[in-house]
Amino acid sequence: MTFLWPSNLWWLLVVPLLPALYLWLLHRGAKPALRLSSLGVARAAAGRSWRRHVPPALMLMAFAVVLLALARPTMPVTLPWAKSTILLAMDISRSMRVADVKPTRMVAAQEAAKAFLAEVPARIDVGLITFAGTAQVAQQATPDRGAVVGAIEAIQMQYGTAIGSAIVLCLAELFPDHGIDLTEMTFGPRGAAARSLDNKKAEPAKPPPPQLTPVAPGSYASAAIILLSDGRRTTGVQTLQAAKMAADRGVRIDVVGLGTPDGHASMGEGMAIYLQLDEPTLREVARMTGGEYHHAATAEALRGVYQQLGSRLQLERRRTELTALLAGAAALLLAAGAALSVGWFGRVV
């Protein structure tokens, strides 16, 4: 346990004085001895004498708890995420039409993603990034599951596989103030300026990005990326360069490798296409960022992977302030002391 205001712990030195003050008040208000007509009456009175000390003891405990709360204690607690974001980065390259995962890789991935959405708590925002030769935001992070499902169902497959660009775009969505420019990373400063002129868009001057201090991989508790791909990078930002950017920001990437890792398959059009799954690189992406790699060669396995990710992403152990909890405990102690005092003596002692 640590304290945000440790200087207030000095107030706890008052606590040992309170029992002494209570005993002094008892003796100060002592009444003259009474003569009793029977030993039984004395025994009955002695049997009940301990009760009068219980309400004051509870109130003294409540006061001690309040003093501890003044120091604002914190400790690691496993709690549901209060505000979190999960970005699904899905490969939509044409190789996803292959039917080695029934009915096709794409359909299996879509169905598994929708099943995953049903597992994620409603308080967690989910967004969808799709990538082939380029990466694009198909649906910004939102608590609206219907919007994400609609974006998943509207996927149109394209050529190319830009895994690194998808990771960079996810980071740009999670950290809009970090000045992450995917166009500049892909085409360079001159290329980005030329594309801006081609699009006839006068972009305002960008403020310089903040100085980034790398943090521990996987330590960013407010967001995670789930990357699904069935191939290897063919264009865009280098995959491991993008993974390093995520690792430096503490963003965990859980990777799902889908399909055939040993080379070739048919597209059903009499044309062979090279479909080797780049497992070494995808495993390294997960390792660098503190995530996990899963290979899902069947639709059933893919659904199982998403369900595991869903259950693992629901809870987070984070340092939590306990001030409100201690204040509530003190209030309960006060209420208990008052209730016992009224019940036993007809008044609050």
CATH of the domain at 240: 3.40.50.410
Q: Considering the entire predicted model, what is its pTM?
A: 0.64
Of residues 232 and 158, which shows the higher confidence score? 158
Statement to judge: residues 68 and 93 lie in one domain: no
- Same domain? 104 vs 121: yes
Give the pLDDT score at 225. 94
- Same domain for 252 and 341, yes or no, is no
Give dist(CA 276, CA 278) in Å, integer: 6
247 and 326 share one domain: no
Pair (107, 185) in one structural domain:
yes
Is 267 found in the same domain as 173?
A: yes
**Could you tell me if residue 145 is inside a domain?**
yes
* Residue 272 backbone dihedrals phi, psi, to 5 degrees: -85, 145
Q: Say yes or no: 55 and 128 in one domain.
A: no
Higher pLDDT, 92 or 27: 92
For 22-31, write each residue's pLDDT tens digit: 777 767 655 5
Q: Report yes or no: 247 and 202 within 8 Å, Cβ to Cβ.
A: no
Say yes or no to pLDDT of 33 above 60: no
| Most confident region among 50-59, 116-125, 267-276 by mean pLDDT | 116-125
Q: What local confidence, expressed as pLDDT, does residue 316 receive?
A: 61
Quick: pLDDT tens for 287-344.
Answer: 999 999 998 877 777 777 777 777 766 656 667 788 888 888 888 888 888 887 777 7
Pairwise CA distance, residues 324 & 109, whole Å: 43
> Is the pLDDT higher at 3 or at 285?
285
- State whether 127 and 159 are in the same domain: yes
Look at residue 211 and tell me if it is in a domain. no
Please state the domain count of the chain: 2
Please check whether residues 235 and 154 belong to one and the same domain: yes
- CA–CA separation, 257 vs 178, rounded Å? 29
Neighbours of 185 (CB within 10 A): 20
User: What is the per-residue pLDDT for 164?
Assistant: 95
Band of residue 38 on the pLDDT scale cut at 50, 70, 90: low
The predicted-structure confidence for 99-133, as pLDDT tens digits, reads as follows 877 888 899 999 999 988 888 888 789 999 999 99
Q: Are residues 184 and 47 in the same domain?
A: no
Residues 6+ apart with CB under 8 A from 229: 91, 161, 163, 255, 256, 257, 258, 277, 282
Band (272; pLDDT cuts 50, 70, 90):
very low
346 C-beta neighbours (distance < 10 Å), count: 8
Residue 271 is predicted with a pLDDT of 43
Asked which of 4-18, 141-155, 260-274 is least confident by mean pLDDT, the reply is 260-274
Comparing C-alpha atoms, which of 155, 164, 121, 108 is closest to residue 309?
121
Residue that has been written with the tokens 């969505």 in this structure: 173
Q: Are residues 67 and 154 in the same domain?
A: no
Q: How far is residue 292's CA from residue 300's CA, in Å, rounded to a whole number?
A: 19
Domain that holds residue 14: 2-77+320-345
- CA 151 vs CA 119, 137, 142, 174: distances in Å: 18, 10, 12, 19
Determine, yes or no, domain membership for 7.
Answer: yes
- Would you say residue 63 lies in a domain? yes
Q: For residue 45, is pLDDT > 50?
A: no
pLDDT at 243 exceeding the cut of 80: yes
Both structure tokens of 21: 């003050």
153 and 295 in a common domain: yes
Between 133 and 50, whose confidence is greater?
Answer: 133
